[in-house]
Amino acid sequence: MSDKNLENPEPLSKVFDSEDQIREIVKEFGTPTYVYSQNLLEEQTRKSLCFPNEYGLTVRYAMKANPNSNILRIFNQAGLHIDSSSEYEVRRAIKAGIHPQKIMLTSQKIPDNLTAILKGGVLYNACSLEQLENYGACFFGANVSVRINPGLGSGGTNRTNTGGPASSFGIWHEDFDEAAEIADTYNLNIQRVHTHIGSGSDPEVWKKVALMSLDFVKRFIDLGNCVETLNLGGGYKVGRMSYEKSTDLQECGMPVRQAFVDFAQKTGRKLKLEIEPGTFLVANAGAVISEIIDVKSTPEYNFIITDTGMTEVTRPSLYGAQHPITVLPEMPTGRFERYIVSGKCCESGDILTPVPGDSEALKPRILAEAGIVGDLVVIGGAGAYCAGMSAKNYNSYPEAAEVLIDRKGKTHLIRQRQTLEQMTQNERRVI
């Protein structure tokens, strides 16, 4: 990324209609606070439901991106199904009112209560030979889904790449025969094949893996399995920053749709398509409102210290991820300054403006001149992998509040700010 990209400050998040709305939210709910737009969530939902397909489409929301029950219900009402990554996500989705048959569990860990979960109607996606064996022992002769690591992956960073030899996710493609033997031993029918290569993946790599995945389907069919569905995961790249390009689902999906048509002509099997967007649905539908608590300078940098940081937005510290940041001075001067934006934690890595892809290096941003303590800062692109992946309670800071702006512009508290008593309620005194 060149400095040219930094000469123009990022625009204010589309979550908000105006600065006045932001200030009203702060008055009512305080800071830091996550804010989500129902209109933007539903707009992204409509786009995902239009993903090119020929023989049927199921869109599963990857709920790990943001598991708030209100967001789950918005997607459920729009017709989306659920991709869950743990037994706890399964239980959380059911508690939110999602029917078990609309939930698929794809997890690194075999739940202790797997039998009870699956008897309730939840679908299971076996992600290893051990999981497939365990499933077969519990459900002889049943249908099952299997996740295959195709040997190729792609992600926004190496840490978000979930395919290829450096990834533990899924059954390694060279172990296909062993997986088929396990299925045969327990008379399992491979009903669904699943691949997922990473978050923020290159659309071209995604399309290539989609075509490769059809080969796995063909091999299972040749062994007598009645494969009905190919699940291609999610990971569609979302441009949080204005200079980043988001994946065009129509452009990405048309070659896949044609591949399904060609596959049907060759095999007679009309496969249903499943996709699992997470970031695509929620990333830019959310933002964090924070407050400036200090402004400092060293010979090299000017720092803005905010009352948010890695406790609400961990991605910059983890991946060197970029989020749009807007300073809203109470009394604007019209001037701009280069700032490093830091969080409130006693942690040198609590930086919101790292070099792209390098969480250990600093990259100043051109922002409106911060006038006083109490000026507001908005961090955009915070709907995905922020509230659900926060470093909450570090330094004993409470979990932030979450607010939803509904279709009519009315604000609703959908998670209250945590109290110290709630933070410590599970501690037991022994001394």
Alpha helices (H) along 229-278: 249-267
Structure tokens at 386: 């922020």
Strands 376-379 and 286-297: antiparallel
Instruction: Identify the DSSP state of 233.
Output: -
Enumerate the active-site residues.
346
Number of Cβ within 10 Å of residue 360's Cβ equals 11
Instruction: Identify the DSSP state of 344.
Output: S
Structure tokens at 401: 């509040």
Query: What whole-number distance in Å separates Cα of residue 408 and Cα of residue 38?
Result: 9
Q: Please state whether the peptide bond connecting residue 32 to the residue before it is cis, i.e. omega within 30 degrees of 0.
A: yes
Query: What whole-number distance in Å separates Cα of residue 146 and Cα of residue 191?
Result: 8
Alpha helices (H) along 274-335: 279-282, 315-319
Q: How far is CA 178 from CA 129, 146, 197, in A?
A: 8, 13, 22
- CA angle (31 as vertex; 339, 281 as ends), nearest 5: 85
Structure tokens at 249: 């689902």
- Locus of tokens 């609703």: 412
Q: Which amino acid is at 265?
A: Q
Closest C-alpha among 49, 41, 108 to residue 68: 41
Per the CB < 8 A criterion, the answer to whether 226 and 189 are in contact is yes
Query: What whole-number distance in Å separates Cα of residue 18 and Cα of residue 1?
Result: 29
Secondary structure of residue 368 in the 3-state scheme: strand
Beta-bridge partner residues of 354: 362
Residues in the chain, overall count: 431
Query: What whole-number distance in Å separates Cα of residue 193 and Cα of residue 149?
Result: 11
